[in-house]
Amino acid sequence: MEPVSTPDLAYAPILREVVSVPPTYILLSSRYRALMTTAARACPACQTPLPEEAQFCLHCGVPTPTDPGVPPRTATTGMVEVAQVKKALVGRYEVERVLGEGGMATVYLAHDQKHNRKVAVKVMRPELAATLGADRFLREVQVAAQLSHPHILPMHDSGEANGVLYYVMPYVEGETLKERVAKEGQMSVNETMRLGREVAEALAYAHTRGIIHRDIKPGNILLQSGHALVADFGIARALGDEGEA
């Protein structure tokens, strides 16, 4: 095991707290995993596995696929969406390819023609905007606009064009923390501490602005030049919204 450097000793109390998680939490976690393993369907927005009887997503609150108003995602739907997005953003952003898809939105690599730079354009799935409404996506845009921190992925632009809701972020050529761990396995103690500190600083900053991320995970942490960028505030909650924290 790699020796811990002197500065990292300051984090010893945090490590002790982490490893002393009560067994109850582990039990609940294992039960949840067992439930999700046998789940027959998934949320149309965030892809969280759902038990058969669920009327709404346990994670983000979106109505379940049993709602006849929620159209299924198909290859044809995806191709129509790409063509629609390219047409809507023509003259401003030249869409090149899909970078990734979530339940609620698709992220495209595009060329910002005004500033001559690569960007990532997040677009709400048009079929969901039509059936579920755009409130959650617009909330994500509003949250992103409030945050300016070295370890939070910033927003460049946002808008609506021909029925397409979108917002624009820098294109990060690195990988996610999830991809990094899957590829390389265990990271060094020092690197883990550094990335953890950067993520904690980003979340603490968001908290000072009254915003709670609510979906922090390795897949939502981008790595750029060895540093962390917290992304995807899609289900973030502003303190006081609907009486929730």
pLDDT digits (tens, 9 = 90+) for 173-190: 889 999 999 999 889 999
Q: What's this model's pTM, rounded to 2 decimal places? A: 0.65
**pLDDT tens-digit profile of 187-216?**
999 999 999 999 999 999 999 988 888 888
For residue 196, is it within any domain? yes
Same domain, 234 and 194: yes
Q: Domain boundary at 170, 200, 234, which?
A: 170
In angstroms, the CA 232 to CA 220 distance is: 6
In the residue annotation, 215 being an active-site residue is answered as: yes
Distant-in-sequence, close-in-space partners of 78: CB < 8 Å, separation ≥ 6? 101, 106
Q: pLDDT tens digits, the chain, 245 residues: what are they?
A: 444 444 445 545 544 444 444 443 433 444 444 544 444 566 666 666 666 556 556 566 555 554 444 455 555 455 667 888 999 999 999 999 998 887 778 899 999 999 999 999 999 887 777 766 677 788 888 888 889 999 999 999 998 888 888 999 999 988 999 999 999 988 999 999 999 999 999 999 999 988 888 888 999 999 999 999 999 886 666 655 544 44
Side chain identity at residue 61, one-letter code? G
For residue 25, is it within any domain? no
Q: Which of 157, 215, 232, 241 is catalytic?
A: 215
For residue 67, is it within any domain? no
Q: Domain boundary at 124, 142, 170, which?
A: 170
Domain count, the chain: 2
Same domain, 83 and 154: yes
Q: Domain boundary at 121, 144, 170, which?
A: 170
In angstroms, the CA 208 to CA 218 distance is: 22
Task: Tell me which long-range contacts 4-9 makes (C-beta under 8 A, separation of at least 24).
Answer: 4/189, 4/190, 5/190, 8/189, 8/190, 8/193
Residue 103 is part of which domain span? 75-170
CATH number at residue 231: 1.10.510.10
164 backbone dihedrals φ, ψ, rounded to 5°: -100, 120
| Nearest of 207, 177, 204 to residue 192 by alpha carbon | 177
For residue 54, is it within any domain? no
Distant-in-sequence, close-in-space partners of 98: CB < 8 Å, separation ≥ 6? 82, 106, 107, 108, 109
Q: Collapsing DSSP states into helix, strand and coil, what is residue 118?
A: strand
For residue 10, is it within any domain? no
